[in-house]
Structure 1
């Protein structure tokens, strides 16, 4: 009889550091056969480029939330595919706007077609220390992600003072009293959680997901085929960031290939170890399709060649 796969999920709002944590898990556990399912709202997957490597079992499920009815069948199919690939561990990285309240339904559906194929060990919620308290007030899914997790990892603690960390911990415990809490920077976290059954420490909560086709955020993808001036691209991002939940991607610049990562007021342009990728940027809009006009206006004020937006 096949040994059940150890299944973990990683949740956390846009820009909290989920993919960085996942990359660290993979780098520090090369002796384990770990599979990954990555979920993004956009048509183009960006985060998969960060962790892809030879031998990695990865499936991407894009164009919405895996917890929404619009993608549940695709999610279950991806879970079944990982069973067939015979991985030992499976980590599912949900989109930053995903609401995992109905994870129990997903597990029940999988069990009905593949009994005892997976052992759900729990969810890790990444907390963006500088942004969390504001996000909690503005965005419903931030609280849901926390309620339906067993371990909260407060990331980027180097960017806030001890009083704010203390406040964040207090708020987390008010929302989920039995949750475990850890702190980290740059997504560097003790991977010991892989050996634990987090659900035994902090049981699952059940509910209905708030993700639906009707409230799915507008996501746009930009591509272009010329090198850009890095400082001008930063100016372009600064003009539109207030209307976006998240901006991320890879671009070819006069200073080399660059990773773009913007959430809230923070904009990071980082030299990328990836090379020879097409320039592509994804925007997750706060204002729906109305974001299209500001993007084109900001582009035209900085660049004199065309890009494609879809």
Structure 2
């Protein structure tokens, strides 16, 4: 069973790439997916819902951190005993995958050596990469341990920015192929299924319980007006690495997907309860920001859950 890992910072496009893969190949291959979401609510697993795909959800931390690594190990072992050709691992945006090799080596007896690392794909967000690269060690490790790197949303920035991003990537990883694109559109057969594993030396992850980012979830039981919800999201966006989830509005269910620079709220095909995950870029200050907005808009019925 071949493992393809997908890494990349929050909002870079990991779920979009997984959706592209499953849309194009989901019916023709035996595949399993392990979805790791940093927040308590695994929003990405709902976004990836695909009939016939073996799906394992791991939430509330990085799969490479001691906080939920044991659950990741259990999922790997369980998947290894299924009749699958590929196992895709969509890591959390804050995940440092440096110890993946150590993890696989440690479970060889339990898996019978059936899990083979095909390679790692790292997705970078051209709009935010230069701002967050030096702030978070996990982002650098994602680049270092990648076999292929997608510079996503590349049309949203100028040629000079793309050139600088390439320079930084090549400083840390001279072997990985680099693709500039939008919406993670790449030649799947060549870029994904023919990945070359450069077998980087494994090292201890920087993910630890002590350096976990703060997350909170906003919930609600009654529909809210879309423009009111948008006001909440836009007021918090500059202070959150990532905002994602679902919301019941007066115009139907909406999927929410925001980064510091991008706002997206679109109609969703199924009814989902209001549950929006916020990943803080400002520590506990985010709680004050969200609480303050909720206090001023009690009529919405929204609350921190």
Q: Same fold (TM over 0.5)?
A: yes
CA apart distance, 1:301: 3.0
Residue matched to 1:206: 202
| Alignment pair present for 1:195 and 2:193 | yes
Q: 2:144 aligns with which of 147, 152, 177?
A: 147
Residue matched to 1:229: 225
CA apart distance, 1:194: 4.0
Residue matched to 1:23: 19
**Is the deviation greater in 143-152 or in 262-271?**
262-271
**Is the deviation greater in 119-128 or in 247-256?**
247-256
Residue matched to 1:127: 124
CA apart distance, 1:224: 0.4
| Alignment pair present for 1:39 and 2:36 | yes
Q: In structure 1, how many angstroms separate the alpha carbons of the residues matched to 2:159 and 2:250?
A: 39
Q: 1:58 aligns with which of 44, 55, 60?
A: 55
- 1:11-61 CA-to-partner distances (Å, cap 9, x unmatched) read 000000000000100111120011100001111110111111221110001
- 1:122-173 CA-to-partner distances (Å, cap 9, x unmatched) read 1000010111111112222111110011100111112112222122112211
Q: In structure 2, how many angstroms separate the alpha carbons of the residues matched to 1:301 and 1:189?
A: 45
- 1:161-206 CA-to-partner distances (Å, cap 9, x unmatched) read 222212211221112111111122112221123432421xx33232
Q: 1:267 aligns with which of 239, 259, 263?
A: 263
CA apart distance, 1:97: 0.3
Q: In structure 2, how many angstroms separate the alpha carbons of the residues matched to 1:308 and 1:88?
A: 43
Residue matched to 2:304: 309
Q: In structure 1, how many angstroms separate the alpha carbons of the residues matched to 2:23 and 2:226?
A: 30
CA apart distance, 1:279: 1.1
Residue matched to 2:215: 219
Q: In structure 2, how many angstroms separate the alpha carbons of the residues matched to 1:277 and 1:238?
A: 22
Contact persistence 2:13–2:123 (CA under 8 A): yes
Contact persistence 1:233–1:302 (CA under 8 A): no
Q: In structure 2, how many angstroms separate the alpha carbons of the residues matched to 1:82 and 1:7?
A: 11
CA apart distance, 1:85: 2.3
Q: 1:107 aligns with which of 104, 107, 111?
A: 104
Contact persistence 1:150–1:180 (CA under 8 A): yes
CA apart distance, 1:99: 0.5
Residue matched to 1:157: 154
Q: In structure 1, how many angstroms separate the alpha carbons of the residues matched to 2:30 and 2:113?
A: 19
- Structure 2: runs of 5 or more not aligned: none
Q: In structure 2, how many angstroms separate the alpha carbons of the residues matched to 1:270 and 1:302?
A: 22
CA apart distance, 1:266: 1.9
Contact persistence 1:226–1:252 (CA under 8 A): yes
Normalised by the length of structure 2, the TM-score is 0.95
Q: In structure 2, how many angstroms separate the alpha carbons of the residues matched to 1:46 and 1:18?
A: 13
Contact persistence 1:240–1:298 (CA under 8 A): no
Map 1:232-247 → 2, pairs under 5 A: 232-247=228-243
Q: In structure 2, how many angstroms separate the alpha carbons of the residues matched to 1:223 and 1:299?
A: 11
Residue matched to 1:285: 280
- Structure 1: runs of 5 or more not aligned: none
